[in-house]
Amino acid sequence: MRISEEYRKVIAQLIEASGSGAIKWTKQNPTTIYQETRTASGATAIMSIQQVRRDRGHYVFTVKNASKGEVVVSIDSMRERELAPMLDELYQIANYSIEKRSLDFLDDIIRGFKK
Amino acid sequence: MDEDNIIKEIQALATPFWEEVDFWIFLVLAIVSLAASIKAFLEARAAKEAAKEAGTTVKIQTITIELNEIILKLDKLDIDIEFSFARDYLNEINRRVRRLTSPFAEDDEYKSKIETIYTSLTDCKSSLDSVRPIENGEEVVDNAVYHAVESHFADLSGELAELMGLFEKRTIQKD
């Protein structure tokens, strides 16, 4: 099995987890989203996706072992063209989940006014 | 004076001026001096044009050197570049490129290329704005600024090189 096939499976799982709200994404800036988590072995992992160029469908997906300060995974959709559509989907869903959380919070504020 | 002499005098006075040798001598002299004046005028005008063109060529060579400096700067992008540095860096490049190219922006030979360069500068700015840190946000993801501007800077570098090529073509043709 090719490595990209393995990544395809992992990204599909991330898309699903993002859609269900299991992954809580955070925005670093308007086009960079990350999730910081603790792994089963206790290490701190930072997973991020950046929309580099919307006009070219260019994304960079990285996973960093923050405890060791090393980048474990780095996928650039300009090099891994076959993963570009999945990274696009992951970015859109992750972005939507952040927007949804913001809207829910706004909704909460508005409900507070009405009390 | 007898009648014959009077007739001769009248005939002499009635001779058309173009039959006079003096007239032709003065006419030839006048034409020669007019031709010399026209030739001097044309030479002076050609010399003025040549001086003007030489001035433009020197100016273009100076611009080409400065464009080359900008290209080298664009190509040496640090992967750890931070937002505030990138913003200042881009502002400087934007200002210098526009200053150098604006005198040629309406010139048919360069117009299209310069428009492309201005579009790239705008795209660079938009891309940099897309990684502007959110207030009080933490810088958790590394190299986001680098990723955002790198491909735009590469495009801009290529376009500036093409403009340099067009400028060089002009100076080569004039040499």
Chain B contact set for A26 (CB, 8 A) = 140
**DSSP classification of residue B109:** T
Please check the confidence at residue A1 and state whether its pLDDT lies above 60. Answer: no
Average pLDDT, chain B: 90
State mean pLDDT over B86-102.
Answer: 96
pLDDT given at position A24? 92
Contact A29 B127 (CB under 8 A): no
Q: Quick one: which of A24, A47, A22 has its CA closest to A101?
A: A24
Q: Given B131, B132, B140, which is nearest A36 (Cβ)?
A: B140
Look at the block and give the residue holding tokens 């790239």.
B120
The strand pairing partners of A53, in sequence order, are A58
Collect all residues of chain B within an 8 Å Cβ-Cβ radius of residue A50: 131, 141, 144, 147-148
Residue A108: its pLDDT value, please? 92
Here the ipTM equals: 0.83
> Does the pLDDT of residue B14 top 90, yes or no?
no
pLDDT score recorded for residue B18: 78
pLDDT score recorded for residue B17: 78
Confidence of residue B74 (pLDDT cuts 50, 70, 90): very high
CA distance A115 to chain B (A): 31
pLDDT band at B35 (very low <50, low <70, confident <90, very high): very high
Q: Please list every residue in chain A whose beta carbon sits closer than 8 Å to the beta carbon of residue B129.
A: 30
- Residue B171 pLDDT > 90: no
Q: In chain A, which residues have their Cβ closer than 8 Å to the Cβ of B140?
A: 26, 28, 34, 36, 46, 48
**What is the Cα–Cα distance from A105 to B159, expressed in whole angstroms?**
46
- Secondary element (H or E) of residue B111: helix B111-129
CB contacts < 8 A (A, B): 54
Per-residue confidence (pLDDT) for residue B119, from 0 to 100: 96
Query: Could you report the per-residue pLDDT of A85-109, keeping only the tens digit for each?
Result: 999 999 999 999 999 999 999 999 9
A48 contacts B127? CB cut-off 8 A: no
A103 contacts: CB under 8 Å, gap ≥ 6 = none
Task: Determine the Cα–Cα distance for residues B83 and A36; give it in Å rounded to an integer.
Answer: 22
Q: Are A36 and A45 in contact (CB under 8 A)?
A: yes
Higher pLDDT, B137 or B165: B165
* Residue from B140, B145, B149, B155 to probe the interface with A (highest A Cβ count within 10 Å): B140
Residue B150: closest C-alpha in chain A: A52
Higher pLDDT: A10 or B134? It is A10
Q: What percent of chain A has pLDDT over 70?
A: 97
Give the tens place of pLDDT for each residue, B146-170: 999 999 999 999 999 999 999 988 7
Q: Is the pLDDT of residue B5 over 90?
A: no
How many Å lie between the alpha carbon of B149 and the closest alpha carbon of chain A? 8
Nearest residue in A to B130, CA atom: A30
User: Is 60 exceeded by the pLDDT of residue B39?
Assistant: yes
Evaluate whether B135 touches B68 at the Cβ level (below 8 Å).
Answer: no
Q: Is the pLDDT reported for residue B26 higher than 70?
A: yes
Q: What is the pLDDT of residue A75?
A: 93
Residue B2, pLDDT score: 78
Q: How far apart are CA A99 and CA B120, in angstroms?
A: 30
- Mean pLDDT estimate for chain A: 91
pLDDT band at residue B52 using 50, 70 and 90 as cut-offs: confident
pLDDT of residue A115: 72
Cβ–Cβ under 8 Å, residues A49 and A76: no
Tokens 């310069």 locate to: B114
Q: What is the pLDDT of residue A88?
A: 95
Is pLDDT at B175 greater than 80 in this prediction?
A: no
CB burial string B14-34: b at 16+ within 10 A, e below: eeeeeeeeeeeeeeeeeeeee
Report the share of chain B in percent with pLDDT over 90. 69
HEC sequence for chain A: CCHHHHHHHHHHHHHHHHHHCCCCCEEEECCEEEEEEECCCCCEEEEEEEEEEHHHCEEEEEEEECCCCEEEEEEECCCCHHHHHHHHHHHHHHHHHHHHHHHHHHHHHHHHHHC
The answer to whether the CB atoms of A58 and B142 lie below 8 A apart is no
Chain A closest-CA separation from residue B127 CA (Å): 8
B137 chain-A contacts, CB cut-off 8 A: 27-29
